[in-house]
C-alpha cells in the first residue's frame, strides 16, 4: 500500500460530497475519487438486494482506481451493504458512516435519549439503534424516517418557508420528544444542520456524520502511517450526468466541481 493512493468515496448521489468535503478539510493532502450513483438514486427507497448490487460494482471501480481506502458516504448503503462490502474487498480498508458516530456517542456516558433521522432504508434497517444499544445499553434510541428531506435539500429548498415547514413537521413528531442529542443520519442533512439546531434553540446536540467520519479517517490513516504528503487530485464521477447535478454538487462540496459520467 502506497500513502499517495487516493481515498475512494461513494454515495447514491451527490449528498456524499458533504463527507468528501469534511475529509478534504481534515486531510488536505489526500487525493479523492468520488463516485455518485446518480442513475440509481435514491437508495433510501431501494431494496437491500439492489443497494448491495450497486455498491459492489462501485467498490470494484474504486479498487481498480487504486484506492487505499473506501468510504461509504451514504447512510443507507452503510446500513444495508457494509458487511458484504467488507467481505468482498478484504484488501481495502472500508469505512462506513455509522460506526464513527456510534464510537463518538459511546465516549459520552450521559446520553439518556438519542434521536435519529434518516431515509426509510436507514431507519428500517435498525442498524444505528442496534449498534448504539450494543455500546450504550442504557441509552434510549428513538428513530424517525424523514424521506422528504433528501429530495427537498437536493432541489435547493434549504432555508425557506417550505424547508422550515417540512423540518418542523418532522421534528415535532412525538417520537423525538425529550431527546438530548439528534443524529443526522443522512449525508444530505449537514446542509440543514443550522435549521435543526435553531429548532431546538441549541439545547439539543446535533451530530452530523460527515465530521465524525472525517475525524475517523484522519485517525485511521495516522494510525496506519498512511497519510499522503503530496499535492492532492480530485476526480468526481457519476453514473448519470445532468447539469442540474453539477449545479447542486457545488453546494454539497462548497466549491465548483466538474462531474464526469462513467458507466459501470
Shortest Å distance, C-beta 147 to ligand DGL: 8
Shortest distance in whole angstroms from residue 79 CB to ligand DGL: 8
Q: What gap in Å lies between CA 24 and CA 78, rounded to an integer?
A: 20
Residues in touch with ligand DGL (CB under 6 A): 11-13, 15-16, 41-44, 74-76, 118-119, 122, 150, 186-188
Distance CA 234, CA 226 (A): 18
Q: Which is nearer to ligand DGL, 41 or 105 (CB)?
A: 41
Of 191 and 226, the one with the shorter C-beta distance to ligand DGL is: 191
Active site annotation includes 89: no
Q: In 3-state terms, what secondary structure has residue 29?
A: coil
Shorter beta-carbon distance to ligand DGL: residue 69 or 74: 74
Strands 260-261 and 234-238: parallel
Dist. CA 9–CA 21, nearest whole Å: 11
Question: In the 8-state DSSP scheme, what is residue 147?
Answer: T
- The minimum distance between CB 42 and ligand DGL, in angstroms, equals 3
* Smallest distance from ligand DGL to CB 11, Å: 5
Considering the complex, state which of residue 5 and residue 24 has its C-beta at the smaller distance from ligand DGL: 24
Please, is 257 exposed, middle or buried when counting C-beta atoms within 10 Å of its C-beta (0-12, 13-18, 19+)? middle
Question: Catalytic: 67?
Answer: no
Question: Which residues does the annotation mark as catalytic?
Answer: 74, 186
Amino acid at each position: 500500500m502506497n500513502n499517495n493512493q487516493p481515498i475512494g468515496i461513494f454515495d447514491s448521489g451527490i449528498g456524499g460530497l458533504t463527507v468528501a468535503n469534511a475529509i478534504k478539510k481534515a486531510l488536505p493532502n489526500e487525493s479523492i475519487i468520488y463516485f455518485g450513483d446518480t442513475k440509481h438514486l435514491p437508495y433510501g427507497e431501494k431494496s437491500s438486494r439492489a443497494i448491495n448490487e450497486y455498491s459492489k460494482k462501485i467498490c470494484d471501480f474504486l479498487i481498480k482506481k487504486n484506492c487505499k481506502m473506501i468510504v461509504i458516504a451514504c447512510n443507507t448503503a452503510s446500513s444495508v451493504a457494509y458487511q458484504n462490502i467488507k467481505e468482498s474487498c478484504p484488501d481495502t480498508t472500508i469505512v462506513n458512516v455509522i460506526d464513527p458516530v456510534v464510537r463518538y456517542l459511546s465516549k459520552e456516558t450521559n446520553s439518556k435519549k438519542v434521536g435519529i433521522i434518516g431515509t426509510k432504508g436507514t431507519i428500517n434497517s435498525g442498524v444505528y439503534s442496534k449498534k448504539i444499544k450494543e455500546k450504550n445499553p442504557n441509552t434510549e434510541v428513538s428513530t424517525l424516517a424523514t424521506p422528504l428531506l433528501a429530495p427537498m435539500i437536493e432541489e435547493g429548498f434549504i432555508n425557506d418557508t417550505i424547508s422550515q415547514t417540512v423540518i418542523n413537521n418532522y421534528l415535532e413528531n412525538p417520537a423525538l420528544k425529550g431527546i438530548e442529542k439528534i443524529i443526522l443520519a443522512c449525508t444530505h442533512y449537514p446542509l440543514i444542520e443550522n435549521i435543526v439546531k435553531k429548532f431546538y434553540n441549541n439545547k439539543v446536540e446535533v451530530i452530523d456524520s460527515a465530521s465524525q467520519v472525517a475525524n475517523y479517517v484522519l485517525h485511521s490513516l495516522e494510525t496506519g502511517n498512511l497519510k499522503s504528503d503530496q499535492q492532492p487530485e480530485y476526480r468526481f464521477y457519476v453514473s448519470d450526468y445532468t447539469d442540474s447535478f453539477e449545479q447542486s454538487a457545488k453546494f454539497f462540496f462548497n466549491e465548483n466541481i466538474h462531474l464526469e459520467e462513467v458507466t459501470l
